[in-house]
Chain A
Amino acid sequence: MKEFTYTIEDPNGMHARPAGKLATYAKQFDADIRVHAGEKESDGKRLLALMSLGATCGTELHFIISGSDEEAACEQLERFCRESWGRGE
């Protein structure tokens, strides 16, 4: 199992575009990807579920990844969060 946390810096929070990109990234991997935000939890590969987390700017997201390609998945997702989220929005 791999995990990391990321605090949302995008003023718009977990809105449709990043949620869509996050789900697209996550879907490339076999590993099970869970995203926790406070008490809520979502499958990282599902757009509507991610949006329903209601995560806003400042919310801490906790990613828990487990499966055969967890290493790569963790690295990619973390990089996406830190480098691309909200870029050009």
Chain B
Amino acid sequence: MNTADIKNEKSVRYHGVGISNGCVSGPLRFFRQRRKMGRIRACGDQREERARFEQALLRTREQLDTLQRRAIREIGKKEAEIFEIHAMMLEDEDFLEAVQGALDDGACAETAVERAAEKHAQALRSLGDPYLSARAEDLHDVATQLLRQLSGERPDGDLSTEREPYILVADDLSPSETVTMEKSMILGFVTFGGTPNSHTSILARAMGIPALVGVGAVSEDCDGAYALLDAAEGTLTVSPDAEERCAFEEKQREVNDLAREHDRYLRSLINKPAITRSGRKILIYANVGEGREIAQALLNGADGVGLLRSEFLYLSMDRYPTEDELFASYHDVVQSMQGKRIVIRTLDIGADKQIPYFALPQEENPALGFRGVRICLAREEIFKTQLRAILRASAYGNVSVMVPMIVSEDEVRACRVILNECMEELEREGKKFDHGIEFGIMIETPAAAIMSDEIAREVDFFSVGTNDLTQYTLAADRQNPLVERICEENREPILRLIEMAAEAIHRHDGWIGICGELAADLHLTQRFIDLGIDELSVSVPYLLGVREKVTECK
């Protein structure tokens, strides 16, 4: 499959294995990777090399966690599992022993990592199983991340500044590269290497983007050239002539008509309200983690944002952000909403979601520890700074504020008191804010659901965080493979708690939404509607699917 037919002086055709059918055309952009960082350092003493390696190991581990969270949000839980495998490879005893061995032989940390990775990659490749050979590449991806940490270099080949949609061309893409890429601009993928089992293929399939893998090398002269990618035929035509272009466009119409019929149907729903067959309107909102996802959410028909995870600014800094910095970032986010409602969740961190400068103590059991509103009420100055920033941003749109991890009406009242204080201060200072700003809480503890009647008197809305509600109700951690089935097989207790909360908030003329993962579970959509849920908030890729499902519900 390494053939390039010279059709005439200009056009060149490449063949490969097509992934997810579809025809796209656009300029090629080469993603240039430097796989080998291989700058061999003059070796420090062994103790120093070991310390450098340990440090890189720690950082890489953190980075993998971040990538995994991002992949869960943007692509899907299953596709994100690869980062868990990467973490296990990183901490695999055999791998660490091989690194250790090389260090003992006097190698510097970089060489030790490369040698250890190659040794085990070789072992996997030698089995002759295509799937396991692809995992050898994973091991190299892990090693590359370690080497980057060691050298302090940033990933190169960055295409994030591209303004026009393009067909991405690369040697092969690693999972970490694929996840960190800005996907809105990518029309298709072409990789020199790769198989139907490689990550580019898996992700292309998950994202419904046409791809061609295993094409052999594409000449770098083609960077920027206009090309036709036909995934069904498995061909890439670079610099096509008028005839080829014409034939392709006709084919493109046929193939894409079919492939996109459903897509077009989904798109047709974008600006229509999601109304059930019995005439109930359900709001379909988006969960977003950072400002730039909002444009995507609106393009996919979101009626609003049901959950803005407000941690992003805190996470990107190495000190507490000031009120003005927070205000500036929330202001931008609120303005980009075009008047639609945005629910900003106040800080939700804890021992499991650390921010170093918060200097939170290590805890035996972070899920049941000092987190969310507990931190905010204990460290009021942090809470007030954030609330004031949110209030000031509320002058520029339709903002609601929501507090996580509530267990009692006392906590809700305490939050309300602080919010009122912030309002009075801003009033005195002559700063603008929305006096009628909606105030709500997350229902993510069984206690909050059980006490929902009392709590509902104090708030305008509830939003159910099903992930935590599930783990606290069933006393089972979804991340633990020994008990994950318990979470999957026991939906009823969660649904009954949601029902209690829905009835309570409706008695007090408020509304209720769901912003956890279950909101995107199409098997439950009808049930949620029956329970009286007013709003479903899901991550961007699920927006249209949920909207379609709602229109099919009774």
Where the two chains meet, the residues of A that have a C-beta atom closer than 8 Å to any C-beta of B are 12-13, 15-17, 20-21, 23-25, 28, 43, 45-49, 51-52, 54, 56, 76, 84
Q: Beyond A47-B89, A56-B129, is A20–B120 a contact (Cβ under 8 Å)?
A: no
A-B contacts, 15 listed (Cβ < 8 Å): A13-B131, A15-B135, A17-B81, A17-B85, A21-B481, A23-B88, A28-B482, A47-B89, A47-B92, A48-B89, A48-B94, A49-B94, A51-B124, A52-B124, A54-B129
Known interface pairs A25-B481, A84-B485. Does A51 touch B95 (Cβ–Cβ under 8 Å)?
no
The residues of B that contact A48 with a CB separation of less than 8 Å are: 89, 92, 94-95, 120, 123-124, 139
Which of A23, A47, A76 has its CB near the most chain B CB atoms (within 10 A)?
A47
Are B93 and A46 in touch, CB under 8 angstroms? yes
Interface string of B463-481 (1 = CB under 8 A from A): 0000000000000000001
- Indicate the member of A20, A45, A46, A84 with the most B CB atoms within 10 Å: A20
Contact between chains at B135 and A54 (CB < 8 Å) = no
A12 and B120 form a contact (CB under 8 A): no
On whether the beta carbons of A20 and B132 are closer than 8 Å, the reply is no
Report the 6 A-B pairs with minimum CB-CB distance, sorted nearest first. Answer: A54-B127, A47-B88, A16-B85, A48-B92, A52-B123, A48-B94
> What residues make up the interface of B, taking CB atoms closer than 8 Å to A?
81-82, 84-85, 88-89, 92-95, 120, 123-124, 127-129, 131-132, 135, 138-139, 481-482, 485
Q: Are A52's CB and B127's CB within 8 A?
A: yes
In the assembled complex, the Cα of A16 lies from the Cα of B134 at a distance in Å of: 10
Measured CA separation A54–B135 after assembly (Å) = 12
- Cβ of A56 to closest chain B Cβ, rounded Å: 7
User: In the bound complex, do residue A46 and residue B92 qualify as a contact, i.e. CB atoms below 8 Å apart?
Assistant: yes
Inter-chain CA distance A54–B84, complex, in Å, is 21
Judge whether B93 and A15 touch: CB under 8 Å. Answer: no
Determine if A25 and B482 form an interchain contact, defined as CB atoms under 8 angstroms apart: yes
Cβ contacts under 8 Å, A21 to chain B: 481
In chain A, what residue has the closest Cβ to B139? A48
Q: Contact: B92 with A15, CB < 8 Å?
A: no
Question: What's the minimum C-beta distance from B88 to chain A, rounded to whole angstroms?
Answer: 5
B123 engages A47 (CB within 8 Å)? no
The answer for the CA separation of A16 and B267 in the assembled complex, in Å, is 37
- Complex Cα distance, B132 from A80, in Å, reads 22
Q: Which residues on B sit within 8 Å (CB–CB) of A43?
A: 93
CB distance from B95 to the nearest CB of A (A): 6
- Residues on the A chain within 8 Å of B481, using CB: 21, 24-25, 84
Q: Which chain A positions have C-beta within 8 A of B81?
A: 17
Complex Cα–Cα for A16 and B82 (A): 9
Q: How many angstroms from the CA of A34 to the CA of B383 in the assembled complex? A: 52
Quote the shortest CB–CB distance from B541 to chain A (angstroms): 19
> For B482, what are the chain A residues with a Cβ–Cβ distance below 8 Å?
25, 28, 76
